[in-house]
Amino acid sequence: MNKPVKDKPTPAKAKKAAPAAQKSKAKPVNLALQGGGSHGAFTWGVLDKLLEDGRIDFEAISGTSAGAMNAVVCADGMANGGKEGARDALAHFWKEMSKSALNSPIKRTPFDMFTGNWSLQNSPGYHFFDALTRMMSPYQLNPMNTNPLRELIEEVVDFERVKQCRGPKLFISATNVETGKVKVFDPHKLTADMVMASACLPMVFQAVEVDDVPYWDGGYMGNPSLFPFHTETECSDILVVQINPITRSGAPTTAHDIMNRINEISFNSSFLKELRAINFVSRLIHEGKLSEKEYRDTRVHIIENQDALIPLGASSKMNAEWAFLEHLRDLGRRSADQWLDTHFDAIGKKSTVDLAEMFHSTGPSY
């Protein structure tokens, strides 16, 4: 049985203004938002708490897939109404997301609802859809290329306002189908197509063309991309909101679990390579082999709650029930609150993730 999370978000309009002293001490960070289907509501909760707390400013946001949607919605809300505007915009987006899924046949069974199981593993609609996408391509299943998600993002985001906003900087990533390389779109030319390209799962949607180039989900080559932070911002702190588990105990034995683990490894590979490169440069700086004047000693922080997210299973990433999205939001808020209590003082001073320890079991950090 899922236990309710006690921490509930303070309504944006009822939130008291932060003291002037608190505002003056706001610390800048670069946000890195992973993709993960409806688990992106966990990221919504993290952002909601950070925005409500007010002690952190977002200098730039890099997002992929659901992370890209959270990024553009947050940026649009901030441009329209500051941090409280961003909170309202994110809440509105996820509420509309749940409404658009009301008529979907991919739902939990009554028994799962009764027992509090958020997974769709027992859903006939989920298994039928999963089998269908393995036998037929989206070009066959959806020749008209209709995508309700695109209509939703166009409805809730003013892209002209996003393109003109002064901050935070947005880095939305997609994978070039032809070259296999990552593409980070120009934030001053950002469109709904670019966001949908970042969220284009190739077995579900037709490739999204931008300037006659086909793109798939950005998670294959950057989940999310960290390298734009090094050249496009002055901030040395990267705060990652992690959804996809890096470590999962044991070897999967069912066909579904094997495919799920393959996808997790694929979507984390580029992210881990960038973290490894950051660790390598940092180590050389600390050893005096590289100059801090020429190379940036990046500080890395991660907000996650794998103990709560891993048991949900991969199928729950397609569960867009409002009750589930609220559950994920509250998990995100609680995780962000705990992280702030423990690590806020370290921002601007040191990493709160031991990258050397993370890569220790896999050999030297080259």
| pLDDT tens per residue, range 161-212 | 999 988 899 999 999 999 999 999 999 999 999 999 999 999 999 999 999 9
pTM, whole model, 2 decimals? Answer: 0.90
Residue 362 has pLDDT above 50, yes or no: no
Q: How far apart are CA 86 and CA 75, in angstroms?
A: 7
| Those residues with Cβ within 8 angstroms of residue 276's Cβ, 6 or more apart along the chain or in another chain | 355, 359, 365, 366
pLDDT digits (tens, 9 = 90+) for 271-315: 999 999 999 999 999 999 998 888 999 999 999 999 999 999 889
Residue 50 has pLDDT above 70, yes or no: yes
Q: Residue 116's Cα: distance from chain center in Å? A: 25
Measuring CA to CA, which residue among 265, 218, 216 is closest to residue 62? Answer: 218
pLDDT at 254 (0 to 100):
83
pLDDT digits (tens, 9 = 90+) for 107-157: 999 999 999 999 999 999 999 998 999 899 999 999 999 999 999 999 999
Residue entry with tokens 């469109």? 191
pLDDT digits (tens, 9 = 90+) for 11-27: 444 444 444 334 447 99
Residue 361 has pLDDT above 60, yes or no: no
Residue entry with tokens 């960070």? 29
- Which stretch of 130-134, 237-241, 318-322 has the lowest confidence by average pLDDT? 130-134
Sorting pLDDT into bands at 50, 70 and 90, what band is 3? very low
Q: Which residues pair with 29 in a beta bridge?
A: 58
- Which stretch of 91-95, 255-259, 262-266, 357-361 has the lowest confidence by average pLDDT? 357-361
For helices 148-156 and 66-100, give the axis angle rounded to 10 degrees: 100
pLDDT digits (tens, 9 = 90+) for 59-101: 999 999 999 999 999 999 999 999 999 999 999 999 999 999 8
- Per DSSP, the three-state class of 292 is coil
- The larger pLDDT score, comparing residue 358 to residue 34, is at 34
For helices 322-343 and 66-100, give the axis angle rounded to 10 degrees: 140
Measuring CA to CA, which residue among 158, 33, 123 is closest to residue 320? Answer: 123
For the four alpha carbons of 137, 213, 158 and 317, in that order, the dihedral sign comes to positive
In the predicted model, what is the mean pLDDT of residues 250-256? 87
* Exposed/middle/buried for residue 114 (C-beta within 10 Å: 0-12, 13-18, 19+): exposed
The string of DSSP letters for 315-365 reads GGGG---HHHHHHHHHHHHHHHHHHHHHHGGGTTT--SS-HHHHTGGG-S-
Strands 169-176 and 56-63: parallel
Residue entry with tokens 């609802």? 113
